[in-house]
Structure 1
Amino acid sequence: MSSTLFLNGIVHSASDPYATAALVSDGVVAWLGDDSSADRVADPDVPRVDLAGAVLAPAFVEPGGPSVDPAQALRHGVAIVTVLAEPGQTAQALQAAADPALQTVVYRAADTVDAEAAGVWLPAEGEALAALVVASTRAGEQVHLVPPAGGDPSEGQAAALAALRSAAEELGAPALGRVRHRVVLTAPITAEDRALLAAISASVTVGPEADGLLRAPLGTLLAEGVPVCLSTAGEAGPWAAVRAALSHPDEAERISARSAFTAATRTPLRVLPDAPGATVQAAPRLTVSAPATFAVWEADAVAVQSPDGRVAAWSTDTRAGTPLLPALDAETALPRWRATWVDGRPAAVEVADA
């Protein structure tokens, strides 16, 4: 049995918000607790990793569906990615070509039949879009609606919502709710469209634009029961996306760091379809017996942050019982990646300069 003991850190775990140490054995989290108790649960010959105050937190899950560089994803603390297959590409081939440490969920192209895919992705354009959504719904296959390449994202968003509405009118909201379609949003939407998404149990994917700002209505969507996945793709790294959610241009749409982190880690797992091709070996939270898939981050400070990202909404004292996250205010440097572990093994580790 392979084991590793992590000490002297900040373990982000809702089941044990006071944890400073973690024992990983046989690919799962075997124990969480404090440093003073670690030697009682780990044999003396178990390798130790001194976190030196770093944050050990669940790995990010990329829901956006772009072409992914596996090495870059792992260095961004990402362990699971959604990939949209090109015509002719199969899920099996894409998964075989990917880094084995990076778990890949593949959505097939609409003109391909692929039993190993999680679902089908459709560019949100064209007169046939609604009919394709209806056909997929009848087949029990989840649709991932994304903006068309090179097109106007706002027009793609409008086309996607119109197609979902048309399908709901033809088949009924419960039929769509059973497959839980996905749609990428880049801009505000009407109250009527938000109600539609909630009624059909659809989830949305949002992400910062080229200027680093988020414009989709995060707070309103979450308040109305629509699952929100936060895309962390981009050179700026995942924590920049989380910080963007705290500093949304519309103050009413800002959410807490905890909610944004959930949207970037837990929600993208929950919205995956109930299909063999969407099965992943990961857990949305770090708990005992969960797969040991996480990332290690060096942070200048930690806090429990309010939606404006500048002040603590609750006490940062561990007695508050709220897991801490890296501070993401504008004056604090973003967390620096140190390692990504997948299924109890180091998938990528920072190499110190010689």
Structure 2
Amino acid sequence: MHECAGPGISGEDDFTGLLRLAAEEAGPRVVGYWAQQGEEGVARAKELGAIGAAGDLFVDGALGSHTACLHEPYADSGHTGNAYLDAAAVAAHVVACTEAGVQAGFHAIGDAAVTSVVEGIRAASEKVGLARVRAARHRVEHAEMLTPETIAAFAELGLTASVQPAFDALWGGDDGMYVQRLGAERARTLNPYAALLRTGVPLAFGSDSPVTPLDPWGTVRAAAFHQTLEHRVSVRAAFTAHTRGGWRAIGRDDAGILVPGAPADYAVWRAADLVVQAPDDRVARWSTDPRSGTPGLPDLTPGAELPVCLRTVVFGQPVFVRPDE
């Protein structure tokens, strides 16, 4: 679990209490981020046990409340939202984080907010060096309104897109909240997962709980059956983004897979059928021919029953066993 805390959304006692509870009790691993700006914020993040001065460091707000920062006004309002950090502030924070050897990260949803993040991180790379910025794996939370230019910049700067496919399931489509706020044309551009993958941008899927429920298979389904067809990815690509993706987002390339020597963190699920589900031109780099031996995954076609968790193991120790098993 990635805990995105900060002085503006939770508090130090809440954050350190969660990290302490995770260390003392059987349960999920918890990785903490502390969203506080600049050199002082970076130092405080380290003192509190966070791995980065990141998470919900707000560049803007949300589409539902008309506070995501846009280049053009909302379709149902006469303004462009709120900007809480500009490119200069982003650059200063990224420089401080990069020089301290920790991740920076920002909450950015609207296209103007994402542009500020890209411009700020590019300015930081000109000061500390592009290789150092890329090595730090800085991250952007949500990154919903992207353009071909900002997607290319994510790849150039080595940014991780920490995204929530359930947002599209809830608010996408022809008559969802996105269309109400942005109009149909702009709404169709949101959450372009296939374009991000084609460009080589690392994806880490999550829930943004409590905004959407903790529902991993539902999240994988939402990405594979995105309501905008061109943004869909294969089930396996979505599964990878929700397993290895979270680990890679914290700089761990050895986890999120079941191989000898990898951390023994896994769940056992009951599923009706296993299939290789890439029946169209969604992003996929493996064969769907049964003769290839590509491992199957649960059938996540909308309407199909989602898998049921039977057991969860962390650090090699069971932390959950379904009572009826």
Deviation at 1:236, TM superposition (A): 6.3
* CA distance in 2: counterparts of 1:92 and 1:158, whole angstroms: 33
Of 142, 147, 158, 1:185 maps to 142
Q: How does 1:211-290 map to 2 (within 5 A)?
A: 211-212=169-170, 215-232=190-207, 233=209, 234-235=212-213, 237-273=215-251, 283-290=255-262
Of 100, 109, 131, 2:35 maps to 109
CA distance 1:113–1:188, shift in 2 (3 Å): closer
The amino acid of 2:167's aligned partner reads: E
- Among the aligned pairs, what percent are the same residue? 33
* CA distance in 2: counterparts of 1:113 and 1:239, whole angstroms: 32
Q: How does 1:189-200 map to 2 (within 5 A)?
A: 189-200=146-157
Using CA pairs below 8 Å that are at least 6 residues apart, which structure has the higher relative contact order?
Answer: 1
Query: For residue 9 of structure 1, what is the aligned residue in structure 2?
Result: none
- Structure with bigger strand share is 1
CA distance 1:196–1:333, shift in 2 (3 Å): same
Instruction: Give per-residue Cα distances to partners, 1:45-96, cap 9 Å, x unaligned.
Output: xxxxxxxxxxxxxxxxxxxxxxxxxxxxxxxxxxxx1112333527654311
Of 133, 144, 168, 1:176 maps to 133
* CA distance in 1: counterparts of 2:28 and 2:155, whole angstroms: 31
- In structure 2, runs of 5+ residues without a counterpart are 60-83, 173-189
Deviation at 1:308, TM superposition (A): 6.0
* CA distance in 2: counterparts of 1:328 and 1:335, whole angstroms: 9
The amino acid of 1:120's aligned partner reads: A
* CA distance in 2: counterparts of 1:96 and 1:292, whole angstroms: 21
Of 40, 44, 51, 1:118 maps to 51
Determine whether 1:326 maps to 2:298.
Answer: yes
Query: For residue 101 of structure 2, what is the aligned residue in structure 1?
Result: 140
Query: For residue 186 of structure 2, what is the aligned residue in structure 1?
Result: none
* CA distance in 2: counterparts of 1:213 and 1:320, whole angstroms: 37
Are 1:247 and 1:307, in contact at CA under 8 Å, matched by a contact in 2?
no
Whichever of the two has the greater Rg, that structure is: 1
- Structure with bigger helix share is 2
* TM-score for the superposition, normalised by structure 1: 0.65
Alpha-carbon RMSD across the aligned residues, in angstroms, is 3.0
* TM-score for the superposition, normalised by structure 2: 0.70
Deviation at 1:295, TM superposition (A): 0.9
CA distance 1:153–1:192, shift in 2 (3 Å): closer
Determine whether 1:159 maps to 2:116.
Answer: yes
- In structure 1, runs of 5+ residues without a counterpart are 1-80, 274-278
Are 1:213 and 1:249, in contact at CA under 8 Å, matched by a contact in 2?
no
